[in-house]
Amino acid sequence: MALQDVCEWQALDTQGASPHLPQMGVWAVPRGCDPQTFLQIHGPRLAHGTTTLAFRFRHGVIAAADTRSSCGNYVECPASRKVIPVHQHLLGTTSGTSADCVTWYRVLRRELRLRALREGQLPSVAGAAKLLSVMMSRYRGLDLCVATALCGWDRSGPALFYVYSDGTLLQGNIFSVGSGSPYAYGVLDRGYRYDMSTQEAYALARRAVAHATHRDAYSGGCVDLFHVRESGWEYVSRNDAWVLYSELQKLPGPEKEEEEKATPDRAGEGGEPSAGPGPGPAPAPGDSRMPAEMETL
């Protein structure tokens, strides 16, 4: 009796349609060509995109991301996790090739743990960002694609760094990475304040990612929200992006509220009613207020 009969195992149907790409040896390449070299030059270029963001404020660091993992026009996973914890006071957003991001975060987690055992304490956020930048810069030009924002809290307070796979290292208060980042930056630049409250920060992050998923085809699914505090990082919520965007559309914009508060007929210097400015731009589809019935995990 064959082993497959004992284990009730059946071979996969290689002739049928499959959502996975074939192995390198299965590709038909011209005779005399090395398959790996041929695929690097003439192989399919699979576009991928995402929306991740992080910003620093007086109560810590906020990290948010969508959950759609795409491979070309194919949605590979609608509920992936793009914010990866490193240790209790450090996490990072991931953008680029999923396998590269996960692999390098495993390497970073291992190296930080070894340093903590040797030195008796974890490195600062700046030290962790510098370490990741130096390790990845050695692979510059080898199609490594990792763009991450490291969010943490150390002895100097909340810290935020951007690291790219070519060795780029930047420090700042706001970073957004991915194909949906231009839309997220538009919302962040308008509503960001360093002294905002915690609920205002949550609302701003949700609103930025929700608007990006509405405009960017490669972003979607849900909105994951994390908060790094002095006591450690906290997983705040996961909300459906479409439901969140629909709720935001129902909220009045700040311009509309200001127009309602303004006096409709204000007298000018000559006693005649002065003509006010013409109709302004359409009100923004959302403000810092959020619906109370948000699902929290």
List active site positions: 50
Q: Which tokens belong to 23?
A: 């192995």
Rounded distance between C-alpha atoms, residue 222 and residue 124, angstroms: 31
Reduced to 3 states (helix: H, G, I; strand: E, B; else coil), residue 245 is helix
The DSSP line for 51-87 is -EEEEEETTEEEEEEE--EEETTEEEESS---EEEEE
Q: Which amino acid is at 11?
A: A
Rounded distance between C-alpha atoms, residue 191 and residue 174, angstroms: 12
Helices (H) and strands (E) in the chain, counts: 8, 12
Contact between residue 140 and residue 166 where contact means Cβ atoms under 8 Å apart: yes
Residues paired with 84 in a beta bridge: 92
The residues, ordered by sequence, that sit 6+ positions from 80 with a Cβ below 8 Å of its Cβ are: 67, 68, 69, 98, 221
**Which value, in Å, is the radius of gyration of the alpha carbons in the chain?**
24
Rounded distance between C-alpha atoms, residue 184 and residue 164, angstroms: 19
Rounded distance between C-alpha atoms, residue 273 and residue 102, angstroms: 64
Rounded distance between C-alpha atoms, residue 170 and residue 17, angstroms: 44
Strand ranges of the sheet holding 90-96, from the earlier edge strand across to the other edge: 83-87, 90-96, 146-154, 157-164, 169-171
